[in-house]
Structure 1
Amino acid sequence: MTSPQDSAHTYTHPYIPNAVPAVRQAMLEEIGAAGVEDFYADIPDGIRLHRPLDLPAPLRSEAELTRHMEGLLGRNTSTRQALSFLGSGCYQHHVPAVVDEVVNRSEFLTAYAGEPYEDHGRFQALWEYQSMMAELLDVEVVNVPVYDGFQAAGTALRMAGRITGRRRVLVATAIDGDKLSRIRDYVRPDHDVTVVPVDPGTGCADLDAVRDALAAGDTAAVYADTPSALGIVDEALPRLAELAHEAGALYVMGCNPLTLGVLAPPSALGADIACGDIQPLGLHQSFGGGNAGFIATRDEERLVAEYPSRLFGLVPTAVEGEYGFGDVAYERTSFALREEGKEWVGTAAALHGIGAGVYLALMGPQGMREIGETILALTAYARRRLAEVPGIEVPYGDALHFADFTVRCTGGRTAAEIRTGLKERGIFGGVPTGEQEAAYCVTEVHTKADIDRLAATLEEIVK
C-alpha cells in the first residue's frame, strides 16, 4: 500500500474523488495554479505544519470501514441501554415514529439549501414549524433554527446589545456552566458577562443584587433561564423584566419549550426576546448532538431587524392574490450583506426544525399540556422520594421544578463517587455541579418504578 507520505503526488485517496492525480491536475490547470501549495500562499510560513498530518492509513474497502466504525460506535452506551437520569440541556424524551419517518424522507434529509422557486416543500415545512412555535411562545416571529440553544442565547444577547448600544450582559438566574462558557465566547469582544449569584437558600434570583448590578446603567440585557440550571421555575421572573426595563435594558429569557403546555411563555413574563433549544420537541439525544436553537420576538421592527438568521414567511408572487413561502427581510442577513452583516450565520439546523414541527403538530395543545403535567408530577415525586434516602438532601424544597433538580450528598460520598457507583449498577446518575451536589432529571419516559429503583440504589451506595 502506498501512503501519502511516500508519494504525495500519485496517491489516490479512496474517499476523495479529487485525489485522482489526473482529476487534480485538470482542476489546477483550469484555475491556473501550479500546485496545491498555491492555495496556502497567504498563510504565514511560521504557522504552517510543513509535514503531513499524523493520520492512520485509510481503510480501503467498505467492509473494513464498516467494521471499524461499528467497533467504535459499539463502545458507546446510549440512554436507551441504561436507566438514565441525565438532563442539563439534553433530555431523554419519547420521539414518535412519524417524526423519524418525515425527517428521513430524502427531499428533507438531503436538502442543504435552496430558494423558494426550487424548494417549496422544505420552505413550507419550516414556515409551518415557525408558525407553531410562534403560537406556543405567544409571539409573531420565530427564526429558522440555529446550531443549538447555547448559540441562540448568545445571538439573542448580541441582538439586545445592538439594539441598546450597551456593553454589559447580566445573568440573573442559575446557569449551566457550559452554557455560560458558550455565551461568553459568543458575545466577546463586544460584551462583558456579569453573573449575579442566586440566593443560596432558595436557588432563585436575588432581586436586590440584580437591582444593584443594574445601577451602573450600562446593561444591554438581563438574561434569565426558565427552568434555571437548578430546574427551578423562578417566581421572580416577571419582576426581573420590570427591573430590566426600568434600567433601559432588554429582557432575554431562555426557556424549555416543552414546559409551555403548562407554564406561561416568556412573552407573558415580560421578555423582549425568548430563546432556547428545541431538542425536547421530538429530537433524539444523538449522544449529545441532537440540538437546535430558536429565537422569538414580537413583530417589532427594531427587534426583527436584528435577527441575523433566516426568517421564512408568506410572500406575494407575480400572480395577484397568490402567495408563496420565502425569505423575509433577506437584506438584513449575512447572506445578503456578506462581511457587512451584523453577525455571521452559517448552516442552520433546519432539519431539526422540521422534526420539531412534526412533533408539535402531533402533540397539539392538549398533548403539550399532558406531557407537561406528567413531567411536573414525576419531578415532584422524584424529589420527594430521593429526599427520603439517608445521606441525600434535595434542596430548594419550596420552588417549582420541571425535569431537572438538585441532589445534595451528605452521607460522606462525593457526587462523583455516587455517579460512578450508579454507573456500575446500570444507572446514569446526575451531572456533578459541585463536590457534593449533582443535577438529576426525570421526563415522561420515566416511571414510578424507575425512580424507586434510583432511590433504592442510592441508599445502597450511600450507606
Structure 2
Amino acid sequence: MSVKGFKSHPYIPNSVPEVEQEMLRELGLNSLEELHAEVPDEIILKDQMNLPEAFGSEYELRRHVEGVLKKNKTCADNLNFLGAGCWQHYVPAICDEVNGKGEFVTAYGGESYNDFGRFQSLFEYESLMAELVDMEVVNVPTMDWAQAAATAIRMGCRVADRTQVLLTGSIDPEKLAVIKNYCEPDLELVTVAIDNATGCMDLNDLKSKLSDKTGVVYFENPSYLGVLEVQAQQIADAAHAVGAQCVVGVDPISLGVVSVPRSYGADIVCGDLQPLGIHMNYGGGQSGFMATMDDPKYVLEFPSRLFGICCTNTPGEYAFGDVAYDRTSFGHLREKAKEYVGTQSALWGITAGVYLATMGPKGMQEVGETIMQNAQYAAKEIAGLNNVSIRFSTPFFKEFVVDFSKTGKTVEQINKALLDKGIFGGKDLSKDFPALGQCAMYCVTEIHTKEDIDRLVSALGEIL
C-alpha cells in the first residue's frame, strides 16, 4: 500500500563492455569471475538464469517497470482501513521536502566530510522525540518497531541481569518472530495470556509467571489489537516488585492524548516512527525508536548511536557528536560490544523530527483527538450492523477488532467483496488469532472523513 505513487529509481548502468573492462583493469582483475573468487564453488549457480531479454534503453525499462507497478492496488485508488503496524496518516508536505534534500538522502555514515548537518538534525529529532515520550535519551532509529522491541528487551535483561522475558499474548506474530530471532536462545521468552473480554493482559496469569528469574515484562499500549492497556500501572508495579524491568511499546502519535509510558512505570519505551510524517511506502516506511532516562545503567546499554552536544578543543565552542561512542560495536569494542548494530533508518528519524516540529504539542493533541473521534464513530456505526459487534470492551485509540462470526461469512469473503467496491477492509485475524473466530481489525485515522466511514458501513451492510 502507498499514499503516493511508487517510482522506479533511475540508475547508471556499468554493463557496457568498455566500462566493465576499465573497472576490472583498475581493480587488477581479468574477469568478473575473479571478483567473486572467494565464493565457494558448491553454491555458485551453474545454469543460466531465467531472465528476460535486456531492454534496449532506460526509457523501455522504465515503461516496463511502471507497467508492473500499476498492477498494485494502492491507497491512492482505494479507501483504506488496514493498519496492523503500517498505518495511513497524513504526511505534511514539508516532511517530503526536507527528507528529499540531497545532503540527507545521500549521507550514509554522516561523518564530518559528508555530514552537512545530519548530526544536528538527528540531535533535534532525538530531543523532540524525548519530549514526546517524556524521556531523556533517544537513539538514532533502528530498522523498525520489531528490532527496537527486541533490542529494548535485551537492554532490560542486561540491566536486570536476568534472562527471562514475559511478553503479552496480543503481540503481532511477525514482531514476535523478530524478537525470538534476536533474543533466543540467550533469553527465555514466556507468553502471558490476554483476557478474552477486554483484550488486556491477564493479570492473574502474569503474576503466576513472575519470579526472581524475570528480567523484563513487555507489553504494548495501545496493543497490537488496538486496545489501551488500562492495567498498565498494575503491570509495571508487578514487574518492579520482583526486580524486573518494564518495557513498553507505544504508538507515538497516540501520545498527544494518551499518558506517556513513564507515567505508569515504564523503564524503557520503544515503538515505530512511521505514523510521524512517513509514508507507508509498500511497508517500507518503518523506523524503530527506543527511549530511557539519562541514567548510565541504561545509556551504556544502548547499542546504537546517540547524538549530543559536546565541547570542542576551542573554548566556548560546541559541536554535535556521538555520546559514549566506545560502547558500540562500531566503536572500540567491536566484537566485544553487547550487541551488534547494522544499517539504521536515520532518514526517517529526521523526517519524524520535522513532523514533530511542525505539529508541536497542540498539533499532536489535535491529531490524537481527531483519530479517537473518528475511530469511535466508525466502531459505533459498524457495531450497528446486524450480527456484527466490537470484540473487546476496553477503550481503544485508532484500531479496533470487529467480530463477524455471527454473520455466516468469513473475513476473507468480506474483504474480497469490499475490495470489489474499492475498499481495503480490516486485517484478517482468523489465522494469527484463531481463538477470536472471524474477527478483523479496522484502522481509522485522521485521514478518514465521515463520508469515508459511512461508505464503509454502507458497503458492509450490502455485503452482509
| Paired residue secondary structure (1:335) | coil
Question: Could you say which residue in structure 2 is the equivalent of 1:75?
Answer: 71
One-letter identity of the residue aligned with 1:213: K
TM-score (norm 1): 0.92
Question: Could you say which residue in structure 2 is the equivalent of 1:244?
Answer: 239
Question: Could you say which residue in structure 1 is the equivalent of 2:25?
Answer: 26
User: 1: distance between equivalents of 2:214 and 2:41?
Assistant: 43
Confirm or deny that 1:143 pairs with 2:145.
no
Match of 1:451 among 450, 453, 458: 453
Confirm or deny that 1:165 pairs with 2:161.
yes
Cα gap change, 1:118 to 1:288, in 2 (>3 Å): closer
Confirm or deny that 1:405 pairs with 2:400.
yes
User: 2: distance between equivalents of 1:59 and 1:241?
Assistant: 60
Confirm or deny that 1:212 pairs with 2:208.
yes
| Paired residue secondary structure (1:364) | helix
Cα gap change, 1:231 to 1:323, in 2 (>3 Å): same
Confirm or deny that 1:330 pairs with 2:329.
no
Unpaired runs of at least 5, structure 1 = 1-12
User: 1: distance between equivalents of 2:403 and 2:19?
Assistant: 60
Confirm or deny that 1:303 pairs with 2:298.
yes
Mapping of residues 299-448 of structure 1, within 5 Å:
299-336=294-331, 337-397=333-393, 399-409=394-404, 410-434=406-430, 435-448=437-450
User: 2: distance between equivalents of 1:297 and 1:174?
Assistant: 24
Mapping of residues 85-234 of structure 1, within 5 Å:
85-116=81-112, 118-172=114-168, 174-215=170-211, 217-234=212-229
Q: Tell me how far 1:68 sits from its aligned partner.
A: 1.2
Cα gap change, 1:340 to 1:43, in 2 (>3 Å): farther
CA contact (8 A) 1:120 1:325 kept: no
Mapping of residues 247-326 of structure 1, within 5 Å:
247-326=242-321
| Paired residue secondary structure (2:330) | helix
Q: Tell me how far 1:164 sits from its aligned partner.
A: 2.5
User: 2: distance between equivalents of 1:34 and 1:50?
Assistant: 20
| Paired residue secondary structure (1:452) | helix
Q: Tell me how far 1:114 sits from its aligned partner.
A: 2.1
Select between 427-436 and 162-171 the one with higher mean Cα deviation.
Answer: 162-171
Q: Tell me how far 1:119 sits from its aligned partner.
A: 1.6
User: 1: distance between equivalents of 2:16 and 2:193?
Assistant: 55
| Paired residue secondary structure (2:217) | strand
CA-to-partner distance for each residue in 1:160-192, whole Å, 9 max, x for gaps?
222233222211251112211221122223223
CA contact (8 A) 1:18 1:24 kept: no
Q: Tell me how far 1:28 sits from its aligned partner.
A: 4.3
CA contact (8 A) 1:241 1:269 kept: yes
CA-to-partner distance for each residue in 1:257-298, whole Å, 9 max, x for gaps?
001111111111111110000000000111111110100001
CA-to-partner distance for each residue in 1:293-318, whole Å, 9 max, x for gaps?
10000111111111111111101111
Cα gap change, 1:17 to 1:138, in 2 (>3 Å): farther
| Count of residue pairs the alignment pairs up | 445
User: 2: distance between equivalents of 1:250 and 1:68?
Assistant: 53
Aligned-residue CA RMSD (Å): 1.9
Q: Tell me how far 1:116 sits from its aligned partner.
A: 4.1
Cα gap change, 1:69 to 1:373, in 2 (>3 Å): same
Identity of aligned residues (%): 48
TM-score (norm 2): 0.91
CA-to-partner distance for each residue in 1:104-134, whole Å, 9 max, x for gaps?
1111121122224652511111110000000
Cα gap change, 1:175 to 1:18, in 2 (>3 Å): farther
Q: Tell me how far 1:429 sits from its aligned partner.
A: 0.2
Unpaired runs of at least 5, structure 2 = 1-11, 431-436
User: 1: distance between equivalents of 2:117 and 2:27?
Assistant: 38
User: 1: distance between equivalents of 2:30 and 2:106?
Assistant: 35
CA contact (8 A) 1:184 1:192 kept: no
